[in-house]
Structure 1
Amino acid sequence: MINEGRAEVAVWRIADASEGALLAEALPGAAALMSRAFGQMLEQVTEASVADIVIRTGPASDPAEGVDPRPAGRRSADESYRIEAEGQRFVIRARASEGVFRALLTIASRSHDGHPIAMDVEDAPKWAWRGLSLDVVRRWFPCDEVERVIDLLAILRMNVLHLHLSDREAWRLELDGYPALTREASHYSTADVERLVSYARQRFITIVPEIDMPGHVAAAVSAVPALAARPFPAPELAYLTWSSPEVPRFVGAVLDQVVALFDSPYIHIGGDEAFGMPEDEYADFVRHAAAAVRARGRLPLGWQETSRAGCWTPSDVVQLWVGERDRFDSANAYRNWPEEWHPAIPALAAVADQAVGDPARIAAQGAAVLVSTSDPLYLDRRPAEPSLHPEQNERLRTVGNADYEPTVSTSIRRWDPARQPDIVEHGLRVAGIEAAIWCESIATFDDLALLMLPRLAMVAEHGWSRDGRDPTDSGSAWTDAWSRLGFHGFHRSSLVFGEPSGH
């Protein structure tokens, strides 16, 4: 019942009067998430006359901009919806189950204290790809914690979880034939991945897997020494060479496993920071790895350094990540890094110094860019403004990447991928946007929440909103839901949530 100050709604009765039974696919995920995040229940009824919510087929909407990351069967599905108040009930008009799912979460989020509020909403996404890259290597996230992240993405109307599954420190995906990779570390089994992909699919989230190659492979080389073509002076300088006999077999086994487990049309091959690797060997590896992904019927995706291999086409996507003010500074590295890392700094600089030319290379190859620019989309950057909770300010002395200059959270309001200078200068096509959270400093789930929220909500609003609404509105409107999902430790930003009393 629509609220006029009357009784609390604990259960929504919902009827499907749409063409094509749109509720069937939307109901399981929506019901679970409405209960978990908002404390509300859905009960399907057959008669529209007794329903609080009725689903009807709506008109088509203009498609979102960018590149669709969804798997076969969902690509090009219309995410738009309209919510209308008709007497004492809501009518949802949508063209696809995904629109119904998003409409139900909108109703739940606007039903304050269990009381539904009359509304007339017409909504559709701006960008087709709206993601978060989660580093599960530097900090292990068991399945239940990944599911919390998936739930958060769903209520924020994001649609991609990019899982960074391998790096120098560990290898997190069970791989048939290579048991040594995961013998010493927590990892996702085949059953775990199947569980997560199914959970995400119910919530209209696509999991994009990343196996980072040919650099960031110290864990793999340590577990499988035959992968190393030569000795490496430091773990940061380990890399895979395609001409090594074991490497093509290994990469093939990795891709076979990933393709079998994940339904994403995109497979991320990494490609960043292959420090110390000769340029010709790097380009050869990227070309072969991308071709191997295509040979398995999927689309390769890589970080911006992969543009240096010259193998991308107008149908491809490259992930842009190096922010202008975050370019590698050798002098700063010598001052601040441990002395044992100093021998690797020249190799790091040789790779990083080429980043300024990557946008031009991407443009020349015609690929689209998935925008993950470190400023402002790397959420391990510390927020510059204080928290309303003093203990959070103390924790932020150690949580977050100290190499990045802090930025106020609301700077995201002023950012627009379509106006980012390197994108404008080179006329790059935007595939979508993806925030990233790197976990070197994260020890607990509360640490993750502290860095990720409310800024991820602002990024999500940029990805969805076509009407230019203030992204900080996403902050205070969702805090109860964040806490219900387990993100109790989110940053109580003084800019988003107001100044402390007495100040």
Structure 2
Amino acid sequence: MELIPAPYAVEGPAGPEVPLGDGTTLWAGPGAQRTERWLRATLGAALGLPLHPGPRDARDGVRLLLDDTLAPEAYRLSAVAGQGVEIRGGGPAGVFWGAQTLRQLLGPDAFRRAPVRRGAALGVPHQVIEDAPRFRWRGLLLDVARHFMPKEGVLRYLDLMAAHKLNVLHLHLTDDQGWRIEIERYPKLTEIASWRTRTKFGHRASPLWDDRPHGGFYTQDDIREIVAYAAERHVSVVPEIDVPGHSQAAIAAYPELGNTDVVDTTALSVWDTWGISANVLAPTDTTLRFYEGVFEEVLELFPADAAEFSAFVHVGGDECRKEQWTESVTAKTRITDLGLAGEDELQSWFIGHFDAWLSARGRRLIGWDEILEGGLAPGAAVSSWRGYAGGIAAARAGHDVVMCPEQYVYLDHRQAPGQDEPVPIGFVRTLEDVYRFEPVPDGLTEAEARHVLGTQANVWTEALEDAARVDYQTFPRLAAFAEVAWSPLPAPAERDYADFERRMTAHYRRLDALGVAYRPPTGPRPWQRRPGVLGRPLDGPPPNR
């Protein structure tokens, strides 16, 4: 059976298939209505199945129901001739993940938007599948700040995530190179900060430029639509508003946010190259009040009850350069007034302010592992990106952790050695490398390991200028990552990669039906290459866990 991610247990197939056709009915019990709508719309469009409402006991029907003996995201799919197909879920999400498995069982044509073989016989193999995820947080970061992804692209990726049983979309909405969310009280964030005059093409060492203006942003109604679309698919959307670094775009729009006693912030523009800008937020009351206003609107747009992890708000907190603070009289005065030891503790104070502010409103702060430096409030969580060390330190200190080490799951990193890979940046991380990634670090006690909420793959877009490039870097490695996040795999060295490759043969056909411009296992197609566009090759093994 070619299911990805692999289920926990399968009994069968044995006996005749369960046929599906024009007479197949669909019944949904209380709590399963989202999946009922999704199944009827998706399979109806792809396979021409009307799936009319019918009774629960229909012998050739599909039944969806909740079963409180199962864990919330667990499901049990049974297909028995003469009894139809039944999907039981421990909660609404479990029913939905079971429906995603049913879609895979119906073949690659179930992933199309219209029928291609009208009248073809359809059937589900006679079997029972018992399944549940290993991790609660199974995430994907999309960097829409460096290169903007229009709303339709985000909705498409939510569908791709759901097809792989991923349940957290981390939207990186702001950075030095662009601000992508409408904030009504600060209109210059979209008038000025949402576009740049030109863009570095390739790594920052590249001599090439794209001289077209680049930009875009999501209106507040766009964000509401994205969040609602995600919730229908049991996906939480976690927004990231980066502070206090990665903020040149915001400063270009509102110069008073910057360190005005050090640089002429009125001369700044949205950054057009890559790297880490020295232009960071000033540690002033003006800055705090401004971002409190931003977060007030963000909390309204991303309600805490939309999905499981919707209470989280990501504040970045990484790669904050301190040169301007070192020179700034205003920053030095703030350090003295607060009794801090220096600029590092000043950053911790900045993050702590928003941790307390968010906590007072029933939300949870999450940030990159730099936020551990200088101490962190108990309720805050950590995205561990600089290897495993930050995650280990956070878990041992009692903080929840999402493991996303760049050495393993930064999908903008190149997929193979050699000159054919487009814009080859970062470590070489093959499909097999991702499949052998282990999210739980060695050395944690059982209690500490429980703080690992899960794992996340990150797609940064400095070198990914359009949707085709995002697809190429993300797939097929996201399929391997999804199995790591969902399935009960053995230790990395013991994983059956040959079996995964075998199942991927069928999965490539699903990706083809979905129109995903993935990297073929034989290497990039001619039009997927970027000859002459410089990357930044870094070789060598990842650090030890």
Q: Per the shorter chain, which TM-score range?
A: 0.7 to 0.9
User: Which residue of structure 2 lines up, in the alignment, with residue 25 of structure 1?
Assistant: 34
Report if the CA contact (8 A) 1:287-1:309 is conserved. no
**Higher mean C-alpha displacement, 373-382 vs 463-472:** 463-472
Q: Work out whether 1:476 is the aligned partner of 2:508.
A: no
Equivalent AA in structure 2 for residue 166 of structure 1: T
Of 298, 306, 319, 1:273 maps to 319
Report the Cα distance in structure 2 between the residues aligned to 1:366 and 1:312, rounded to whole angstroms. Answer: 10
1:89-126 Cα distance to aligned partner (Å, 9 max, x none): 11222232222111112111112354322221000111
Please identify which structure carries the higher helix content.
1
Deviation at 1:425, TM superposition (A): 13
Tell me the distance in 2 between the aligned counterparts of 1:424 and 1:312. 22
Note closer, same or farther for the CA distance 1:411–1:426 as it changes in structure 2 (3 Å cut): farther
1:397 and 2:422 are equivalent in the alignment: yes
What is the CA–CA distance in structure 1 between the aligned matches of 2:81 and 2:17, rounded to whole Å?
15
Q: Distance in 2 between matches of 1:320 and 1:208?
A: 16
| 2:124 counterpart SS class | coil
| Aligned match of 2:302 | 262
In the alignment, is residue 240 of structure 1 matched against residue 272 of structure 2?
no
2:94 matches 1:99: yes
Q: CA deviation digits over 1:286-332, x for unaligned, max 9? A: 1111111112210110100000131231x4320000137xxxxxxxx
In the superposition, the TM-score normalised over structure 1's length comes to 0.78
Aligned partner of 1:492 among 520, 524, 529: 520
Q: Is the 8 A contact 2:175 2:249 kept in 1?
A: yes
CA-to-partner distance for each residue in 1:111-155, whole Å, 9 max, x for gaps? Answer: 235432222100011100000010001111111110110001101
Q: Are residue 446 (structure 1) and residue 468 (structure 2) matched?
A: yes
Q: Tell me the equivalent position of 1:181.
A: 189
What is the RMSD of the two structures over their aligned residues, measured on CA atoms?
2.9
Q: Distance in 1 between matches of 2:460 and 2:88?
A: 39
Distance 1:445 1:11 in 2: 39
Q: Give the counterpart of 2:85 among 68, 71, 90.
A: 90
Percent of aligned pairs with the same amino acid: 29
CA apart distance, 1:254 = 1.2
Q: Mind listing any 5+ residue stretches in structure 2 that lack a counterpart?
A: 1-13, 110-121, 195-215, 272-276, 304-309, 326-342, 524-545
* Aligned-partner residue type, residue 311 of structure 1: L
Contact 1:132–1:162 (Cα < 8 Å) also in 2? yes
Following TM superposition, by how much is the alpha carbon of 1:397 offset from its aligned partner in structure 2, in angstroms?
3.0
TM-score by length of 2: 0.73
Question: 3-state DSSP class of the match of 1:49?
Answer: coil
1:80 aligns with 2:78: no
* Alpha-carbon contact 1:137-1:172 (below 8 Å) kept: yes
Letter in 1 for 2:511: W
Secondary structure of the residue aligned to 2:127 is: coil
The answer on 1:366 being equivalent to 2:398 is yes
Alignment check: 8 A CA contact 2:79 2:125 kept: no
SS of the residue aligned with 2:181?
A: coil
Task: Give the paired residue count.
Answer: 431
Name the SS for the 1:492 alignment partner: coil
1:412 match: 434
Q: Which residue of 2 aligns with 1:463?
A: 485
Q: Tell me, which stretches of 5 or more residues in structure 1 are unaligned?
A: 64-77, 325-355, 387-392, 496-503
1:480 alignment partner, SS class: helix
Q: Pairwise mapping of residues 14-53 of structure 1 onto structure 2 (< 5 A)?
A: 14-16=26-28, 18=29, 21-34=30-43, 42-53=51-62
Q: Work out whether 1:190 is the aligned partner of 2:229.
A: no
